[in-house]
Structures are given as structure tokens and as C-alpha cells.
Amino acid sequence: MKLLKIQPAIAENIPEIVALDQLCFNGIWSEDGYRREINSDKSILLTLSLVNNSELKIIGIGCLWSILEEAHITLLGIHPDYHRQSLGSLLLYTLLKDAVNRQLERATLEVVTGNQVAINLYEKFGFKVAGTRKNYYPKTGEDALILWRNGIDKPEYTTELEDWGNRIRDHISQQYLLY
């Protein structure tokens, strides 16, 4: 059984996070960008790590900004070797749970219009398409879809999220022990 750990990123993680960022997103943020996230009390930057003999290897990152009553999910990435094992769902679930604990009311994010994998994942968590931002990504000129999930402060959402959490934990427990 492999051990998994989710924890807030710390400054020492930055080089590993930047390497994973390159793999997952082709370089969204620089080392300085991640340092800003770690130092900001408005940002939740989480790492998902495999633990082996007390050595940690970061295989996932997720980030959320808390802006007024909104949770902006700014990135979510899993190392390509670990896709389709519910680990992206686990990180998204953990970010959304943090948003609920902070009593935020809505969650939103932008995703490349053609990124159907990510769209499927977010739709599973109740996000709906609310519009498009043209030429949103400066490097590629691609459009972004804006996704929203309202009512994350409602008790029904807490129940829904807990159902997801149980299902995800059940699924990953075939391979991983989360601590």
C-alpha cells in the first residue's frame, strides 16, 4: 500500500512544484509566482505527495484563491503517471472543503475550452458553464470557459461534497493509504 499525503505547500517545495507545473500546465507560474501564493493568506496552495521511507514526492498541486465570498480555483494538476486514479478528484474535493470551511459562497474557475478531461471533472462536482473568455490564454490565444458552482455555503452542498469524499476515499483506498 502506498502512502499519500495532502498538505499546504511550503517554500522548500517550490523547485519540485515548478517542475510539476511544467509537466502539467507547460509552465503557468514561476518560482516567484509560487512563493507569492505560499505567502498569501488569500491563497490555499496544496500539494499531494507520495510518501516513501519518509521521503515525499509531489505528484499533485491545487490552488484556490479566496476573494470576498468567492473561491477561485486557479490550478489543479496531477503528474501524468498518476492520472485516472481519482487523485485529481481528491485534490479538488480537498480544495472545495477548504472553501466550505472558509464559509465561501461560490466557486469559479477558467478552463481551456478544449480541456474536456478537466471539464468532466469539474462538472462531476457540480460546476456549470457560465460563459467564455475570448483569447484568455496569452501564450496560445485559446479561449477559456468560465465555470461556476453556486451555493457551496448551503448544507446540501456539504452533504454532496461528503458523498464525493467518501466515494473518492473508497476508490483510492484500493491502492493508497491517505494520512
Ligand X SMILES: CC(C)(COP(=O)(O)OP(=O)(O)OC[C@H]1O[C@@H](n2cnc3c(N)ncnc32)[C@H](O)[C@@H]1OP(=O)(O)O)[C@@H](O)C(=O)NCCC(=O)NCCS
- Enumerate binding residues for ligand X (CB under 6 A): 24-25, 75-78, 83-89, 111, 115, 117-118, 120-121, 124
Q: Which is nearer to ligand X, 53 or 139 (CB)?
A: 139
Please state the separation of Cα 118 from the chain's center in Å. Answer: 10
Q: Which is nearer to ligand X, 123 or 153 (CB)?
A: 123
Q: Which is nearer to ligand X, 19 or 117 (CB)?
A: 117
Could you tell me the smallest distance in angstroms from the CB atom of residue 148 to ligand X?
15
Residue whose C-beta lies closest to ligand X: 88
Q: Which is nearer to ligand X, 100 or 147 (CB)?
A: 147
Could you tell me the smallest distance in angstroms from the CB atom of residue 6 to ligand X?
13
Q: Which is nearer to ligand X, 154 or 167 (CB)?
A: 167
Q: How many helices (H) and strands (E) does the chain have?
A: 5, 8
In a 13 Å sphere around the CA of 105, the CA atoms on its Cβ side amount to 3
Cα-based torsion angle of the residue sequence 82, 33, 40, 92 in order, rounded to the nearest 10 degrees: -20
Could you tell me the smallest distance in angstroms from the CB atom of residue 34 to ligand X?
15
Could you tell me the smallest distance in angstroms from the CB atom of residue 72 to ligand X?
11
**Under 8 Å between Cβ of 149 and 128:** yes
Could you tell me the smallest distance in angstroms from the CB atom of residue 39 to ligand X?
22
User: Strands 2-8 and 43-52, how do they pair?
Assistant: antiparallel
DSSP states of 9-60 as a string? --GGGHHHHHHHHHHHHS-SS-HHHHHHHHH-TTEEEEEEEEEETTEEEEEE
State whether residue 79 is helix, strand or coil. Answer: coil
